[in-house]
Amino acid sequence: MGMNDFWKLCIKNKSVTVPAIIIVSIMLLAVFAPMITQYDETRQDLLMRLVPPQSGHIFGTDELGRDVFTRILYGTRISLSIALFPTAIAVAVGTALGILSAYFGKWADFAIMRLADIMLSIPGMLLAMVVLYTFGGSLSSVYIALVLMEWGSVARVTRAAAEGILENDYVLAARAMGVRGYAIIFRHILPNLIPSIIVLFTVNIPSSILAESALSFLGIGIQPPKVSLGLMAGTSKQFLFQMPWLSLAPAGMIMLLSLSFNFLGDALRDVLDPKRRAV
């Protein structure tokens, strides 16, 4: 399947376009946050504390009088950066190791896969907590924690996929023509892995978003004055019964984001997998 066909199939498929449109609109909101809202995400207005939703403050304000809608937009920036960058790094590292494992086999395969097994045998959240306690709660340590959490499963999946590709006649044909080493990897394996990589990337994004939210909710992820959706839900949980919008609004955003990415990942898998594709 060429790239053009891929785009055509995606555009025709509503289960791809709908979540994609939602994700793009959320991205635009986050990017253009300063133009959309007149408030500053950290500016306190102690006279306007804990006001319920009203015009000017559509999700009300928090205990320090900060506009919740503004904070959600800025929090979404962090959630999106966490959704994209650590996941991309984890997928890149995992794919590279998975391909090397499949291509070289023998001891390289053994070493890489046992390492992946070890990482996968440690509960992800526990691993993330250890990293965050060791390096302190900052954006970069959240990145490190997420990459460590995710590369193993990516490596496993790409190794299996690459092994399947290596068995194909066209790889054999290329070898018979004298192609070897990196030429095989970059020209014959990697391009045919792209569909799997796209799917792996999109299905790993929601788990990154959720992991960051959970860590920040627990107070060990993103630290104030930085704002993240999980952190907002965490700090306003004390007002859950009196002023539910304070935690429900960021929680709703987390849900919308992760569900959209989840649906997008599933839909892309269906589009890219010729066996599942409805003709």
**Residues near other proteins, by CB under 8 A:** 1-2, 105, 168-180, 183, 187-188, 191-192, 194
Here the tokens at position 6 are 């891929």
Give CA–CA dist 243/230, Å, rounded. 17
Q: How far is the CB of 273 from other proteins (least distance, A)?
A: 14
Q: How far is the CB of 276 from other proteins (least distance, A)?
A: 17
Of 30 and 112, the one with the shorter C-beta distance to other proteins is 112
Yes or no: say if 127 and 150 are a contact pair by the CB < 8 Å rule: no
The dihedrals phi and psi of 39, each to the nearest 5 degrees, come to -90, 165
Tell me the C-alpha to C-alpha distance, in Å, between residue 90 and each of 122, 161, 184. Answer: 17, 17, 23
Of 149 and 185, the one with the shorter C-beta distance to other proteins is 185
Of 243 and 272, the one with the shorter C-beta distance to other proteins is 272
Q: How far is the CB of 167 from other proteins (least distance, A)?
A: 9
Of 13 and 192, the one with the shorter C-beta distance to other proteins is 192
Give CA–CA dist 82/261, Å, rounded. 13
Q: How far is the CB of 99 from other proteins (least distance, A)?
A: 15
Give CA–CA dist 100/183, Å, rounded. 13
Radius of gyration, alpha carbons of the chain: 22
Residue 212 CB contacts under 8 Å (≥ 6 apart), including other chains: 78, 79, 82, 142, 146, 221, 222, 228, 230
Q: How far is the CB of 190 from other proteins (least distance, A)?
A: 9
CA angle 268, 269, 270 (to 5 degrees): 90
Of 114 and 187, the one with the shorter C-beta distance to other proteins is 187
Give CA–CA dist 148/165, Å, rounded. 26
Q: How far is the CB of 106 from other proteins (least distance, A)?
A: 10
Residue 95 CB contacts under 8 Å (≥ 6 apart), including other chains: 154, 155, 158, 193, 197, 200
Give CA–CA dist 253/227, Å, rounded. 14
Of 43 and 180, the one with the shorter C-beta distance to other proteins is 180
Of 135 and 186, the one with the shorter C-beta distance to other proteins is 186
Q: How far is the CB of 7 from other proteins (least distance, A)?
A: 14
